[in-house]
Amino acid sequence: VEECPKPVVARIKGAAIGGGVGLVAAADVAVAEEGTVFAFSEVRLGISPATIAPFVLRKIGHSQVRALFLTGERFDAARAQAIGLVHEAVSEEDLDAVVQEKVEGLLAGGPEALAATKGLLRELRDAEAGEEATEITARRIAELRVGSEGQEGLGAFLEKRKPAWREES
């Protein structure tokens, strides 16, 4: 999504959990319905949000990422807007109109200029971050997914039960 040469508009309604929030963070423009629920729930599954971490970190910063990644807490669209995850939080009635407005604004731009601008922003971002972040996050999620805790957490999720570490407390 982030690498797409065309602008990507996210229309968020209902729930954006885990990887879904990563997609929101990678989008160029994000508009959420006020009733939308967001959460980085990976730690509650015994894994880490490593795959989406670079996108979310760039979007909302270290302080918010630390609190939300570590707690796995749910939050609403107003908070998502306040921390910069989404650009607008709107009523259900206004969602489609606001998204259409954003799309029309993008269509007013030259296609080559839009692609060049997205490329420029990636180039500037990469100059700051370096490529090694991708390698680190891919290695981390792979390690955790095959570990006993990751297997238990993912299994519990699929089986709709509490993971073993929650049953003990």
**pLDDT tens digits, one per residue of 30-54:** 999 999 999 999 999 999 999 999 9
The identity of residue 101, as a single letter, is E
Considering only residues 131 and 165, tell me which one the structure prediction assigns the higher pLDDT: 165
pLDDT tens digits for 70-113? 999 999 999 999 999 999 999 999 999 999 999 999 999 988 98
pTM metric for this prediction: 0.84
